[in-house]
Amino acid sequence: MNEVIENREEEKIKKKIDFKIVTFSLGGKEYAIDIMKVKEILKENRFTMVPNTLPFVKGVYNLRGEIIPIIDLREMFMITVEEDAEKEKDILILRLPELVLGVVVDAIDKVVGIAKEDIQPPHPLFGDVNVKYISGVVEVEGKLYIILDVDRIFGEEEVLSASYGKKKEEITERVERVTEVAKPAKQDEELDFSFIKDTLIALKSFYITEVNYEWARRRYREWSDLRREASEPVQLESVKDAEEFLKPFFSPYTSKLWGDDYHNNLLALLPDEYSGVIQVWDIGCGKGYEAYSIACILREKYGKNVIKVWANDSDLLNISMAPNLVLSQVEIPQYFIKNNFVEKYENDYRFKREIKDLIVFEYHDITHLNEYPEMDLIVARDLISFLPPEEQKRMIAEFSDSLKSQGYLMLGENEVPIGSEWKRVSEGNVVLYRKE
Amino acid sequence: MRVEYINPFVEAAFNILKEVLGTELTRGELYLKSTSQPVLGVTAIIGLTGDVEGRVLFDMDEKTALAIASAMNGEELKKLDELAKATITELANMITAQAVTKLSEIGFKFDITPPAIFTGEKMEVSDAAVEALIVPIEMPLGKVEINVAVREKN
């Protein structure tokens, strides 16, 4: 009722009203949205949480049969929120050309009518929100309201389109862009990070994307602390620096036979039985340690099944050594000897014929055409991070296509797959993603 | 391409060329290629069947083909006539046959189809994104590229 009365008052004062805005507060500041974009207003606290989404996505809500995403604008603009989680939240339901969604704000205030000529262009330093997303500023009764351009915030890059095709990285970058004005101190850090990102591409062809973003961010913080302590430059100035930076990225037992812990954890995650041939695709197998480890684990667990491990690498020198890999006793975990998978060869050891016959080592570049049977397990540790972003996306889609349903994907310790079809399962230091 | 297949082809090419031509040769870096590629002018092709499916291409320009054919026949050939073509075809056959023999010694059963030869200008091979191993061989007579595409029968 108040709103209506106030509206009338507004109308009396201002003769000309071009459109109306809904005002609300966010982190103590006043904002507004064009009322034509607002479908309705809601107080609610019960949302269905959706796992694995961005932090500002609160979940989905059933609005009389229509499922809509709920976004917390405060989180999106990185305004700290301190409030009772149980409290009902003020929500604006927005109707945009392509989607309907709800946004959580601190408190919805009122509806006011304004004239077009009263809207002033935004000042570059205005508010917590990047100028790009502000359509103007208007003064009403001595208060300044920042009018948000919701079409640009949510529409432009289809943040929430059902396919969720847009990448987290882009969105994160955008959120960072949004907060640039507000947090000048953070700017240097962002710049440093983006330089490191570029140098890693140039020096090691390592691409930071959503596949490894969390690791990269964590490593960057750790790295910049370490380097500052040692009074050394944060930036990577040589291949050696880049290698040092990437050192902790690599998964356990890279270029080694898998140890007993890793082996036991993987055993625990694999299904109790398979019917028919077990097909495995091991990509980037190098000299073959990984492929042999997998072959032995499967041979031990699935004695009756036919096992086929397709092991590729695009490094000719490494993979040429794989079929006849010779091991010294110290590099063989007890388990391989105990199960009789290796045999004495002069002073050293090598794998028995029956294990070798399970593996096909191929000199192959996976960015070319991959013609393989449907797989039960794909192992691609620390591999896709070294492909350009488009290739990364394409490869993960290809993994998904080549896996049987309920098949497993094993990425590097610090990598996560893109897409919603993956279910994370883990045991100790082994993480697999099951295709659902 | 299965690692075990690579060496037999490289070695066979090296041995045969050295034997029949009696010249120095150097092997370029091996690499993989999956795009359609221009053909230099004279190309012999041999198909592979058996445990696998695939083919081998021997690609060179006309000048090199004539020089090789001349050297193998012990006489100067002026143009790419039937004799010259038959000589190149035979060379391709010898190399592939030796590679297949080496492969069968280590337990892989391949059969080969009779060779064919293509000549002409501005030719291109495009076999739908098949990944091929390229073995470039440099000789004083010219350059020969051996292009091997083999895949396992699933």
Task: Judge contact between A24 and A109, C-beta under 8 A.
Answer: yes
How many domains, in total, are found in chain B?
Answer: 1
The shortest C-alpha distance from B98 to chain A (Å) reads: 20
Q: How confident is the model at residue B51 (pLDDT cuts 50, 70, 90)?
A: confident
pLDDT at A226 exceeding the cut of 70: yes
Separation in Å, CA of A363 to nearest CA in chain B: 5
Position A181 confidence tier, pLDDT thresholds 50, 70, 90: very low
User: How far is Cα B147 from Cα B2, in angstroms, rounded to an integer?
Assistant: 15
Output the CA torsion B81→B86→B89→B94 (10° steps).
Answer: -140
pLDDT bracket for residue A162 (50, 70, 90): very low
Q: What is the mean pLDDT of residues A145-162?
A: 68
Q: Please report which helix (H) or strand (E) contains residue A136, including its range.
A: strand A134-140
Tell me whether residue A181 is exposed, middle or buried, using C-beta atoms within 10 angstroms of its C-beta: 0 to 12, 13 to 18, 19 or more. Answer: middle
Say yes or no for a CB contact (<8 Å) between A365 and B32: yes
The pLDDT-based confidence of A180 (bands split at 50, 70, 90) is very low
Residue carrying the six token digits 């507060």: A25
> Shortest Cα distance from A312 to chain B (angstroms)?
9
Q: Which pair of tokens denotes residue A386?
A: 């070294």
| CATH number assigned to the domain covering A2-155 | 2.40.50.180
**How far, in whole angstroms, is CA A86 from its chain's centroid?**
29
Higher pLDDT, B107 or A174: B107
Tokens of A101: 């969604």
**Phi, psi dihedral angles at A103 (to 5 degrees):** -120, 135
Average model confidence (pLDDT) for chain B? 89
| Residue A12 neighbours by CB under 8 Å, 6+ apart | none
CB–CB of A90/A107 below 8 Å? yes
A148/A183 Cα distance (integer angstroms): 19
- The answer to whether the CB atoms of A365 and B1 lie below 8 A apart is no
- Is ipTM > 0.90 here? no
Q: How many CB pairs under 8 A join A and B?
A: 43
* CB-based burial label for B82 (10 Å; 0-12, 13-18, 19+): exposed
Higher pLDDT, B29 or A18: B29
Element (H, E) at A432: strand A430-435
pLDDT exceeds cutoff 90 at A280: yes
Q: How far is residue B54's CA from residue B151's CA, in Å, rounded to a whole number?
A: 6
Q: Do A361 and B133 touch (CB under 8 A)?
A: no
| Across A330-340, average pLDDT | 89
pLDDT of residue A155: 67
Check pLDDT > 70 for residue A316.
yes
Give the mean model confidence (pLDDT) for residues A121-129.
63
Q: Stretch A203-227: mean pLDDT, rounded? A: 92
Domain boundaries for CATH 2.40.50.180 within chain A: 2-155
* Chain A residues with CB-CB distance to B133 below 8 A: 363
C-alpha distance from B154 to closest chain A C-alpha (Å): 7
Q: Which of B6, B128, B129 sits opposite A363 (nearest CB)?
A: B6
What is the spatial distance between Cα A136 and Cα A34, in angstroms, rounded to a whole number? 11
- What is the pLDDT at residue B105? 92
Q: C-alpha distances in angstroms, A276 versus A32, A191, A304, A308, A359?
A: 62, 53, 9, 11, 17
Work out the minimum CA distance from B6 to partner chain A, whole angstroms.
9
Q: How confident is the model at residue A17 (pLDDT cuts 50, 70, 90)?
A: confident
Backbone angles phi, psi at A412, to 5 degrees: -65, 160
Provide, as residue numbers in chain A, all residues whose Cβ is less than 8 Å from the Cβ of B152.
Answer: 360
Residue B142 region, left (φ>0) first, then alpha (ψ -120 to 50), else beta? left
pLDDT band at A399 (very low <50, low <70, confident <90, very high): very high
**The pairing of beta strand A143-148 with beta strand A29-34:** parallel
Asked if the Cβ–Cβ distance from B3 to A373 is below 8 Å, we say: no
CA B102, CA B49: separation in Å to the nearest integer? 16
> How confident is the model at residue A188, as a pLDDT?
75
Closest residue in A to B128 (Cα–Cα): A369
The neighbouring-strand residues paired with A408 are A377, A434
Q: CATH no. for residue B113?
A: 3.40.1550.10
Question: Strand A66-72 to strand A57-63: parallel, antiparallel, or no bridges (unpaired)?
Answer: antiparallel
> A356: which 2 tokens?
């070798």
- Over residues A402-430, the mean pLDDT reads 92
Please tell me the distance in Å from B29's CA to the nearest CA on chain A. 10
From A320's Cα to the closest Cα of chain B, the distance in A is 6
Going along A217-354, which residue ranges are E strands?
A: 278-283, 307-313, 326-327, 342-345, 348-351
Q: Residue A16: what pLDDT?
A: 73
**Average pLDDT of span A275-301:** 93
- Burial of residue A211 (CB within 10 Å: 0-12, 13-18, 19+) is buried
Domain that holds residue B104: 3-152
Q: Residue B3: which of A323, A365, A369 has the nearest Cβ?
A: A323
Mean pLDDT across B87-113: 92
- CB atoms near residue A41 (< 10 Å): 15
Q: Name residue, tokens 């050293």.
A: A348
Which residues from chain A sit within 8 angstroms of residue B128, using beta carbons?
A: 369
Best mutation target, A325, A364, A374, A394, to test chain B (most B CBs within 10 A):
A364
- CATH 3.40.50.150 residue ranges of chain A are 260-435
| Out of B3, B130, B133, closest to residue A369 by CB | B130
Name the residue of chain B whose CA is nearest to A320's CA: B3
Which residues on chain A are in Cβ contact (under 8 Å) with B34?
365, 368-369
Interface test with A, best of B1, B2, B3 (most A CBs within 10 A): B3
Residue in chain B closest to A288 (alpha carbons) equals: B3
Give the residue on B whose Cα is nearest the Cα of A322: B3
Q: Which chain B residue has its CA at the smallest distance from A360's CA? A: B2
Across the interface, whether the CB atoms of A361 and B152 are under 8 A apart is answered no
* Cβ-Cβ contacts under 8 Å, B151 against chain A: 371
Q: What is the mean pLDDT of chain A?
A: 84
Fold of A260-435: Rossmann fold (3.40.50)
Task: Answer whether B3 sits within 8 Å of A314, measured CB to CB.
Answer: no
Q: Please give the pLDDT value at position A357.
A: 92
- Looking at the predicted structure, is the pLDDT value of residue B93 above 80? yes
Residues of A in contact with B154 (CB under 8 A): 371-373
Both tokens of residue A249? Answer: 């990225």
Please check the confidence at residue A334 and state whether its pLDDT lies above 80: yes
